[in-house]
Amino acid sequence: MNRVKNEKILKVQKKNTMLLVVGIVLIILSFVLFGLGTSMDEKDGENVQSLNDIIESSTTDRYEKKTYIDINYISPSVAAYDNSSEAYYIVSDGVHIYLANVNKKEAEKLANKSLDIVKERLKGVTKKIESDLRDITIDTYNEYIRYDDEEKLTTLNFRYMFGDVLIDTTESFSGAASGLMLLGIVVLTVGLILMIVGAINKARTASSIKKLSDYDLMKIENEIDSSESTFFLKGKICMTPSYLVVLNGTFMAYDYNNVVWVYPHEFYYNGVKTTGSIKVGTVDGKIYDIANSSSVNKYANAEQNEIINRLVMKNPNIRVGFTSANMDYFKQLKKDYKNRVNM
């Protein structure tokens, strides 16, 4: 049975439940996308053409297609990106030569095999040969592979020799299937984040409510709706006559008499302030992050300052500011609290 009756606290609970549900739905949807991608990939694999057949075909739809080559030769690497585990190689099936993107370790294994005796099948997806790779291949071919009496490779006869597509063995899914798989990964990631955030906030809110007696919970609920209460940061913080109430994703209520330390906390990126919040230390030696705001305008800063000022008005004994003296004070308070608990 839900003990909560206040609409604003119920709204926090409902939001967390919604995050959890939406996260689960997205996770289920991601598996549907994975299934569709796998099914499409299997369908694309039923009529796989060799790379030579694709190159010689008249179709313009020749990219991102599943393909294969049975090779009897692989050259040293023609080109590679810095810090990449892949490289481009010239390969041959004994009749034609092609470009292939292969994992470096896999290429090394292939080079050590007797390919001239037993051919090895490369499987992958067709990719367009870009102009920079074409130019590098031309230079490499002319310098290291071309026979002395053979015509030099140029941009004019390159397509006759290599075609306009290469085989990328580092990819196993066709274009459409790969798109569905990528979308599935994105949806799964978002779903997991929403589910985890919703579950954590839901658990924290439930734990906070569980610690309150029926009397304290009813008092907090009544004070939230009281005309004497003030809301800050678009309703995320409520300062009632007796409590500092956080309604930002989770529900937490701090008795002013239990707050002993408060200070603003700011996060900077490349010297620019990006987020701000308020840290409050309580009598049990714990520090909580409240009043989080991604806004860095003067209004958000003014509201955070107003919250700190009102806290001090409610409890003049609260220490303010992130200073060495306050840090030492809180460290000793935390130590004393643990000693009392362990007695």
- DSSP helix/strand/coil, 268: strand
Q: Which of 195, 204, 211 lies closest to 250, judged by CA?
A: 204
pLDDT digits (tens, 9 = 90+) for 48-85: 888 998 888 877 778 888 889 999 999 999 888 878 88
Q: Could you give the CA distance from residue 190 to residue 209 in angstroms, rounded to a whole number?
A: 28
Q: Which residue has the tokens 């603003």?
A: 264
pTM of the complete model: 0.66
Express each pLDDT in 248-302 by its tens digit.
888 999 999 999 999 988 776 676 666 778 899 999 999 998 877 665 666 777 8
pLDDT tens digits for 309-320?
999 999 999 999
What's the CA gap between 214 and 220, in Å, rounded?
10
The span from the CA of 189 to the CA of 126, in Å, is 28
Residue extent(s) of CATH 2.30.29 domains in the chain: 212-342
Q: Tokens standing for 83?
A: 């810090």
DSSP 126-191: EEE--HHHHHHHHHHIIIIIS-TTSPPP-TTTHHHHH-SEEEETT--S-HHHHHHHHHHHHHHHHH
Q: If one looks up domain 212-342 in CATH, what number appears?
A: 2.30.29
Query: What pLDDT is attached to residue 272?
Result: 66
CA dihedral sign of residues 225, 230, 232, 237: negative
Per-residue pLDDT reduced to its tens digit, 133-186: 999 999 988 888 888 788 888 999 998 889 899 999 987 666 677 788 889 999
pLDDT of residue 232: 85
Residue 61 is predicted with a pLDDT of 78
Model confidence at 94: pLDDT above 70 = yes
**DSSP 3-state of 88:** strand
Q: Which two tokens stand for residue 1?
A: 């049975």
Q: Is the pLDDT of residue 326 over 80?
A: yes
The pLDDT assigned to 9 comes to: 92
CA torsion 125-131-132-133 (nearest 10°) is: 40
